[in-house]
Amino acid sequence: MTHSPIGVAVIGAGMVGRAHANAYRNASTVFSLDRQAPRLVAIADLHEPFAADAAARYGFERAETDWRAVIEAPDIDAVSVAVANNLHREIVEAALAAGKHVLCEKPLAPSVTDAQSMVDAAAAAPGQVNAVGFTFRRSPAINAIRQQVESALGPVRSFVGDYWCDYGCDPQRPMSWRYQGGPGSGVLADIGSHLVDLAEFFCGETTGVQGAAMATLVEDRPRALGVAMGHAGGVELSEERLPVENEDVCTFTTSYANGALGTFSLSRVAYGHANTLKFTVFCERGTASFEMTRPAEFTIVDGTAPIETTGVRTVFVGPWHPYVAQGIPMDFPTVGHGQNDFFVYQARAFLDQIAGTSSLPLCPDMAHGLHNLRVLEAVVSATDKPVLL
């Protein structure tokens, strides 16, 4: 157990890296006041303007343009890795070898082979916390649904999940690492990894994958002449167009040990859906649903009301639900919270785990990230060849 301030750094100053930086800045302000604020030491990004902006914006002491400077720094104890998937293994293994605690974004790695190597590296560093960032596990509404499943609704019979985004709709959106890497590394890895994890949050480990299908609808994209933040465009484009190597759309089904089935629909070309994650759990004694566009509520129907008034009702998440009490400044029903808050709760859990004072659920470890990748690999293997009629 440690009581000294934990020195933290974020490698990657893009969209997700900024979410991690903001999360560390706010982690000591939520829940109990026994967590000393971490030292916000460094933000690293190859693109110096991004690193400098994030460091200044979120109160970090310095900006770096080489991730190795973070790994070698003696004043940094813990690192978030929030860069392109194909860079995860080298950075994570170097950080673990240098004695750092590591929180790596999902998916853990570009392949099962890489992920296994990272898990082995973590096993060789037993005194260090290793974690993977499945932030939707920190949603108050999703945890409230899980409470209802365990206490009232009964076993899950089926899970139906959709994750639709539109960041890939525009064929003039520039080429980036998200569009490279081969089948399974596109929408399945980028956002489908979250939904696969949430299904297991309710149903237990996946035991089978069936009937997968993938499609690439935008076949090439222009090469960018500048650097964009996250999914944003706005950079000068080359006349050269590069081939898209992975999938825009993916559907598949899964099975679980208790007999439950899962049905999944994923798209990064779903026009008008910026960030629509939604799911329904159909249980033995009721049904509950969540949609990320309304993150502070969920719907439920069960047998508690008389037949004359039974039906689906909306529940506004309040301080009697997980993560809400002292988790937001105004912890009251109908007061909004969202995905940035989930990152704060994750950072708090990660820091508590490092300090040996965990009261929140532990962060999923890299072995869990490896399992998630094995499920994604099974989806790719289950892709059906079309039958032409």
**Domains observed in the chain:** 7-136 (3.40.50.720), 140-337 (3.30.360.10)
Q: CB-hemisphere CA count at 13 Å for 341?
A: 23
User: What is the token pair recorded at 176?
Assistant: 């980036």
Distance CA(156)–CA(281), nearest Å, equals 6
What's the confidence (pLDDT) of residue 271?
98
* Torsion region of 180: left, alpha or beta (phi above 0 gives left; psi -120 to 50 gives alpha): beta
Q: What is the pLDDT of residues 154-187, one digit of tens each?
A: 999 999 999 999 999 999 999 999 999 999 999 9
Distance CA(253)–CA(271), nearest Å, equals 23
Q: Name, in order, each residue with C-beta under 8 angstroms of 29's C-beta and a sequence gap of 6 or more.
A: none
Mean pLDDT value of segment 289-293 = 97
CA 277 to chain centre: 12
AA letter at 23: A
Q: What is the pLDDT of residues 214-247, one digit of tens each?
A: 999 999 999 998 887 766 667 889 999 999 999 9
Distance CA(132)–CA(109), nearest Å, equals 10
What's the confidence (pLDDT) of residue 232?
67
Question: The sheet that has 39-44: what strands, in order across it?
Answer: 62-64, 39-44, 7-11, 78-81, 101-105, 130-133
What's the confidence (pLDDT) of residue 246?
98
What's the confidence (pLDDT) of residue 230?
66
Q: H or E element: which one contains 145?
A: helix 140-148
Dihedral sign from CA coordinates of 235, 239, 240, 246: positive
C-alpha separations of 341 from 9, 138, 296, 310, 329 in Å: 19, 8, 11, 33, 11
Distance CA(114)–CA(133), nearest Å, equals 17
Distance CA(293)–CA(278), nearest Å, equals 8
pTM equals: 0.96
pLDDT exceeding 90 applies to what percent of the chain? Answer: 90
β-pairing verdict for 39-44 and 220-224: unpaired
